[in-house]
Amino acid sequence: MRSTPSVLAGLLGLGLLGSVLVAGGGVGAPPPSAGQAAAVETIEPAAATCRKAPRWKARKETRYGISLGSNGGGSMKQDLDLEEARFGTRVPVVRTWDDTLPTRTPWSEKKRWYQRRWVVTSIRVTPQAVLSGDYDGRLRQYFRTAPRKKGPIFWNYWHEPEDEIRAGQFTAGQYRRAWRHVARIAASFCRPNLYPTLVLMGWTANPAATPQWHEVNPGRKWVSVYAWDPYNGALGEAQQYLAPRVLYNPVVKASRSVNRPWAIAETGSVRVPGDFDGSGRAQWLGRVQKYAERKNAVFVTYYQSTRNGDFELRVNPELDVWRKAMQ
């Protein structure tokens, strides 16, 4: 998770809202010159018959799942086993990420348990390093060895880049160019189950955000699904359960403005004061599900974690609500 600008509290008058996700990695290689960037942009052109971003065909149902690996415990496989035992059901959508670009056999562990699941996953290499071309070989290996399965892989390059852009680690322009470069490499394999998915903070869809979401948007022809990370109490505290329309309307509007489907890559809420047994959070989760289905979200994954706040669902009635959503 990442901290979210507190200005939204003043903007909405409804408490803290945003998205938090641990940042990792360094600045990487220095930015290429204009000539180098132009040359890199032409590497790995997609075949004429391959879409840079395969279109996601609208479905009537929204699928639900959880984020894995957020508590720093065992492997992702162990985390998945733990959560399926906790919920008592199969998790149909898993959200994972890597703090860098995996090196050798990047899918070897994941391939065994990605079968028949929807996967939302992220990789991280600084835009400067991507644009240098030094990672082209590893990127090709990453997409070439991705599981050829019936289920979709919603891949993302550097989720939530807003904090790094504000900190000056790289620019929005560098991010957009790097995204397109990665997307070209992915498209060159003509894999219909690889869906480039932009993942931004929920806060970024609001007018007061810096940077604005469209500043980091690589363009809809490069993105199959626009996914977001809106939270109720992203900084670990909340005074009330905000209505789903308050949390999600801005991201739905932003996604629809570019004629692309929307999804929630992470969402969650801490318990508000007085909600001792979690019944209030359970009701809120039910409203989130109804909203997502009414607005035709592609998927919604819950941030099942105690990092940066106690978002974890551990007991009924909260578990029961999300279990039924996943079933």
pLDDT of residue 50: 85
pLDDT of residue 21: 31
Residues forming beta bridges with residue 120, ordered by sequence position = 95, 154
Q: Per residue of the chain (327 residues), give pLDDT as tens.
A: 654 443 333 333 333 333 333 333 333 333 333 333 333 333 344 444 688 899 998 788 999 999 986 665 667 778 888 999 999 999 999 998 888 887 666 787 676 677 788 999 999 999 999 999 999 999 999 999 888 876 899 999 999 999 999 999 999 999 999 999 999 999 999 999 999 999 999 999 999 999 999 999 999 999 999 999 999 988 878 999 999 999 999 999 999 999 999 999 999 999 999 999 999 999 999 999 999 999 999 999 999 998 888 999 999 999 999 999 999
Q: The whole model's pTM is what?
A: 0.85
113 contacts 77 by C-beta, under 8 angstroms: yes
At 115, which amino acid appears? Q
Tokens of 230: 């809106």
Would you tell me how many other CB atoms lie within 10 Å of the CB of residue 277?
A: 12
* Domains of the chain, earliest start first: 7-22+54-326 (3.20.20.80)
Tokens of 83: 């959560």
Would you tell me how many other CB atoms lie within 10 Å of the CB of residue 216?
A: 21
pLDDT of residue 109: 66
